Amino acid sequence: MGEFDLIRRFFSRPVTRAVLGGGDDCALIAPNPDCDLAISSDMLVAGRHFLVETDAARLGWKSLAVNLSDLAACSARPLACTLALALPAVREDWLAAFAAGLYDCADRYDCELIGGDTTRGPLTISISVFGEVPRGSAIRRSGASPGDSIWVSGLLGQATAGLKLAQGQLELPEDAARAALAALERPVPRVELGIALRGLASAMIDVSDGLAADLGHILFASHAGAVLDVDALPRFAGMELLASDEQLTCLLTGGDDYELCFTSRPDHDARVFAAARGAGVPVTRIGRINADSGLKLVGGDQREFALPPGFSLKGFDHFG
Ligand SMILES: [Mg+2]
């Protein structure tokens, strides 16, 4: 099967929202004239960002979901996406499953696949997403101020538990194991929550590299520091089965959760809870922005915790 046959067969459904889909030299989309166009790209490399044996349909879902999570973090509504795919060999059953998972996610979040490219090479999935956000209302990393509440959606560290399970390093009861694997392989981008937080969140980021690193990006961009309440961090069912010294590391540095971490003015707490309820996503207040630099971890009785060993606020280094 040649490149054009492959695209025609697996990745060309008619578009309904875009002006023009794949097949021409460019696709065309027409964002609302009162909106800014939000754009993000993410690349997933086999063996680096996912296990080679990952189920193809789940991989298709996740490849788009992680990009939609970036749109959510800027409060943008998804419009369209493109897919560039390098494949070591053309396996039709794998491609059919991958495409089904990708379209499943695309349909759920109303994000049309409008074009792309394929080539032979080590399995690499590169997706770009396009979204729209009312002009000037995108939520950035730089807007946090001292006194702001710090929030996170959903649960932390669950995808890390899923990875440990998949690698045979952890055992969990059946329900907890299923939830952990789903968190790893079928993350839910918080698109509705991101939109609900317009005008409410002062800064926002999605948790892809771990809470501490991603909150660190907000602190760096906002020239601020933070105190996190360790006891408030939302734990997943089964976390207590991890060694006690691993639990805090998992909560703070576990990657791949794709939850939203955001800040808001302290007098907006009730509105944040209401917005989250409307979006159907639980949120937890986990700390406060201050004027210091760096990140301080404090327990309920004011005892201080050290940052996990080897951790720095510069974030995860993808070339490390
Ligand atoms: Mg991100």
pLDDT the model gives residue 175: 93
Q: How far is the CA of 302 from the centre of ligand 1 (A)?
A: 31
Share of residues in the chain with pLDDT > 90 (%): 73
Q: How far is the CA of 103 from the centre of ligand 1 (A)?
A: 22
pLDDT the model gives residue 310: 62
Q: How far is the CA of 5 from the centre of ligand 1 (A)?
A: 33
Handedness of CA 75, 78, 81, 87 (dihedral sign): positive
Q: How far is the CA of 68 from the centre of ligand 1 (A)?
A: 9
* Per-residue pLDDT tens over the stretch 281-315: 999 999 999 998 889 999 877 788 877 766 665 54
CB atoms near residue 260 (< 10 Å)? 29
Q: How far is the CA of 173 from the centre of ligand 1 (A)?
A: 31
Quick check: 25 pLDDT over 80? yes
Q: How far is the CA of 156 from the centre of ligand 1 (A)?
A: 16
Higher pLDDT, 23 or 212: 212
pLDDT the model gives residue 293: 81
Model confidence pTM above 0.75: yes
pLDDT the model gives residue 130: 98
Q: Where are the domains of the chain?
A: 3-134, 141-298
Q: How far is the CA of 176 from the centre of ligand 1 (A)?
A: 26
Q: How far is the CA of 6 from the centre of ligand 1 (A)?
A: 30
Share of residues in the chain with pLDDT > 70 (%): 96
Q: Tell me the pairing of strands 124-134 and 201-207.
A: unpaired
Q: Average pLDDT of the chain?
A: 91
At the top level of CATH, which class does the domain 3-134 belong to? alpha beta
For domain 141-298, which CATH number applies: 3.60.21.10, 3.90.650.10, 3.90.1200.10, 2.60.120.330? 3.90.650.10
Crossing angle of helices 174-185/158-166, nearest 10°?
Answer: 100
Q: How far is the CA of 207 from the centre of ligand 1 (A)?
A: 7
Quick check: 193 pLDDT over 70? yes
pLDDT the model gives residue 7: 80
Q: How far is the CA of 86 from the centre of ligand 1 (A)?
A: 23
Give the integer Cα–Cα distance in Å for 193 and 277: 9
Quick check: 319 pLDDT over 50? no
Q: What are phi and psi of 263, to 5 degrees?
A: -125, 155
Quick check: 102 pLDDT over 90? yes
* Per-residue pLDDT tens over the stretch 122-149: 999 999 999 999 999 999 999 999 999 9
Q: What are phi and psi of 204, to 5 degrees?
A: -155, 150
For residue 146, what is the enclosing H or E element? none
Q: How far is the CA of 1 from the centre of ligand 1 (A)?
A: 35
* Per-residue pLDDT tens over the stretch 200-257: 999 999 999 999 999 999 999 999 999 999 999 999 988 988 887 789 999 999 989 9
Q: How far is the CA of 2 from the centre of ligand 1 (A)?
A: 34
Q: How far is the CA of 73 from the centre of ligand 1 (A)?
A: 7
* Sheet of strand 77-87, all strands in order from the earlier edge strand to the far edge: 35-45, 124-134, 77-87, 112-120
Quick check: 316 pLDDT over 60? no
pLDDT the model gives residue 311: 62
Higher pLDDT, 262 or 295: 262
pLDDT the model gives residue 19: 87
